[in-house]
């Protein structure tokens, strides 16, 4: 199979996986949120940052380290990393179990002790899946990951919905997260058909940790940068306010991650396989930016345009205070996909040291933005993320510009037609009112799609033309 066909096949399965696994999962959390309300939803939001931080430590960047070494990966490497991840997963769970009362005291919510001690078990489960997921990714085997994700999402969703109707409240969300992780881990092991050897190779550990440790620290910093807002809001405001912010953050983030992870999950192993061919690597890099912005901008800007109707239809009137937060976060996430690509290519060429340096540089900027915005409530915090996201883009684009000659200015030029078309689409949608909430929402969606692609046709976007030619089989 040629590289191009392998890439397209992997992308198709990855998109299918994310469509069910991420957007389907998001739909279930929206359903749960509608029934349990903002306060109960906020309890889980308060604990999210601790799970993500623990996962950053447990993963240690080893997934990317294993993929980056795909051409020379040994069984000793894989087995060593498996035992390392499992040991750290158990260690992190014990630490967080002991710390549960302190976490509850920080948020002034005693109920979090019991919730956290059950929910944090997901860290151990996730630690068991790192190596098998990396092995499937190296083989660009996204079909197995798609099947596994679909199965896990479907059955965990059924369980969670049943618990909602039985009146278990926030425990439905806890078991949604846990059961999905358990089923997904089992499925990945089934398809990978790999068993670790009884060996721990210090040379393998030191070599992979040298690359992965930078990503571990960068992952911790990035987790703080992206989730510190929720933790601080939980400390200074109510669980209800955390619920509003968490839901808005989930809606915008899941859409962004759906696009970015689908494209990057496939292109990362491809880029690592051609990392020594700089011309091909940069060509893939440029096309990835165009493809990502072509899809991500209209989706995120479009969600901002229909935020009021969307929240009323899917979450209900109790969630309307989340609308201004959702609008701001959608705008903030619109530039994030390019930033993610810029960081991803540094890993592909083995420069995790630069990845870490960039993330460390962004941390004080985030802390300053949060400090200035906190007195203005959750809406002020949301708009602070907009400013930070755009500043972060220029920081993230610095090293790609220096190494590949394709920095922020050239990237903005590549994405300019998509930005302009999205702005026109946004203005068209918000200026028109339709009778009937559901019909109006559908009409706005259709109008947005038509206006966006009509503008790209008028602007004669070359990338869209090439994609259409490929799909239609034109030479």
pLDDT for the residue 202: 87
Q: Is 73 helix (H, G, I), strand (E, B) or coil?
A: coil
pTM, full prediction: 0.78
**CB distance 293 to 301 below 8 Å:** no
Higher-confidence residue of 148 and 7: namely 148
Q: Which of 176, 128, 135 is nearest to 156 (CA)?
A: 176
pLDDT for the residue 260: 65
- Rounded Cα distance between 191 and 137, Å, is 12
CA 359 centroid distance within chain: 16
Max Cα distance, the chain (Å): 67
Q: What is the pLDDT of the chain when averaged over all its residues? A: 83
Q: Of 281-290, 332-341, 359-368, 440-449, where does mean pLDDT reach its minimum?
A: 281-290
Percent of the chain at pLDDT > 70 equals 84
Confidence of residue 475 (pLDDT cuts 50, 70, 90): very low
CA 73 centroid distance within chain: 27
**CB distance 302 to 448 below 8 Å:** yes
| Alpha helices in 397-436, H assignment, sequence order | 398-404, 408-430
Q: Of 76-85, 161-170, 313-322, 377-386, where does mean pLDDT reach its minimum?
A: 76-85
How many H-runs (helices) and E-runs (strands) does the chain carry?
A: 21, 0
pLDDT for the residue 125: 93
- Rounded Cα distance between 137 and 117, Å, is 31
pLDDT for the residue 45: 87
Higher-confidence residue of 364 and 2: namely 364
- Rounded Cα distance between 350 and 340, Å, is 16
Q: Which of 245, 218, 185 is nearest to 380 (CA)?
A: 245
**Dihedral angle computed from the Cα positions of residues 20, 267, 52 and 358, in that order, rounded to the nearest 10 degrees:** -150
| Alpha helices in 193-277, H assignment, sequence order | 202-236, 239-273
The residue count for the chain: 475
**CB distance 244 to 378 below 8 Å:** yes
End-to-end Cα spacing for the chain: 20
**CB distance 324 to 332 below 8 Å:** no
Higher-confidence residue of 316 and 141: namely 316
């Amino acid at each position: 199979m040629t590289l191009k066909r392998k890439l397209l096949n992997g992308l198709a399965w990855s998109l299918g996986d994310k469509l069910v696994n991420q957007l389907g999962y998001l739909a279930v959390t929206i359903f749960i949120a509608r029934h349990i309300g903002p306060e109960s939803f906020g309890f889980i939001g308060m604990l999210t940052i601790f799970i993500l931080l623990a996962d950053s430590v447990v993963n240690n960047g080893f997934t990317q380290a294993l993929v980056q070494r795909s051409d020379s990966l040994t069984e000793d490497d894989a087995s060593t990393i498996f035992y390392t991840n499992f040991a750290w997963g158990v260690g992190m769970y014990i630490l967080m179990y002991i710390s549960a009362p302190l976490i509850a005291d920080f948020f002034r919510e005693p109920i979090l002790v019991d919730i956290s001690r059950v929910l944090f078990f997901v860290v151990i489960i996730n630690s068991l899946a790192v190596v098998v997921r990396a092995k499937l990714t190296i083989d660009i085997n996204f079909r197995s990951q798609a099947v596994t994700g679909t199965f896990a999402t479907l059955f965990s969703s059924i369980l969670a919905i049943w618990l909602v109707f039985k009146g278990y409240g926030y425990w439905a969300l806890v078991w949604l997260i846990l059961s999905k992780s358990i089923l997904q881990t089992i499925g990945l092991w089934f398809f990978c058909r790999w068993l670790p050897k009884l060996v721990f190779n210090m040379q393998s550990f030191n070599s992979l940790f040298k690359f992965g440790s930078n990503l571990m620290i960068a992952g911790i910093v990035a987790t703080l940068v992206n989730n510190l807002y929720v933790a601080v809001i939980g400390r200074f405001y109510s669980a209800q306010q955390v619920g509003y912010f968490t839901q808005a953050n989930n809606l915008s983030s899941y859409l962004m991650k759906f696009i970015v992870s689908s494209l990057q999950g496939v292109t990362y192993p491809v880029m690592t396989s051609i990392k020594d061919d700089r011309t091909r690597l940069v060509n893939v890099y440029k096309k990835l930016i165009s493809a990502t912005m072509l899809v991500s901008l209209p989706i995120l800007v479009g969600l901002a345009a229909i935020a009021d109707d969307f929240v009323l239809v899917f979450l209900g009137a109790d969630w309307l205070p989340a609308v201004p937060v959702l609008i701001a976060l959608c705008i903030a996430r619109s530039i994030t996909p390019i930033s993610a690509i810029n960081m991803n290519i540094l890993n592909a060429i083995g420069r995790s040291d630069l990845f870490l340096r960039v993330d460390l540089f962004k941390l004080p900027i985030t802390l300053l933005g949060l400090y200035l915005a906190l007195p203005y409530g959750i809406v002020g915090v949301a708009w602070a993320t907009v400013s930070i996201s755009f500043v972060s883009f220029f920081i993230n684009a610095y090293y790609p510009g220096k190494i590949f000659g394709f920095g922020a200015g050239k990237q903005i030029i590549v994405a300019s037609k998509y930005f302009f078309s999205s702005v026109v689409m946004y203005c068209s949608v918000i200026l028109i009112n339709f009778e009937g909430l559901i019909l109006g929402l559908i009409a706005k969606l259709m109008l947005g799609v038509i206006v966006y692609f009509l503008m790209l046709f008028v602007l004669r976007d070359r990338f869209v033309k090439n994609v259409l030619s490929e799909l239609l089989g034109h030479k």
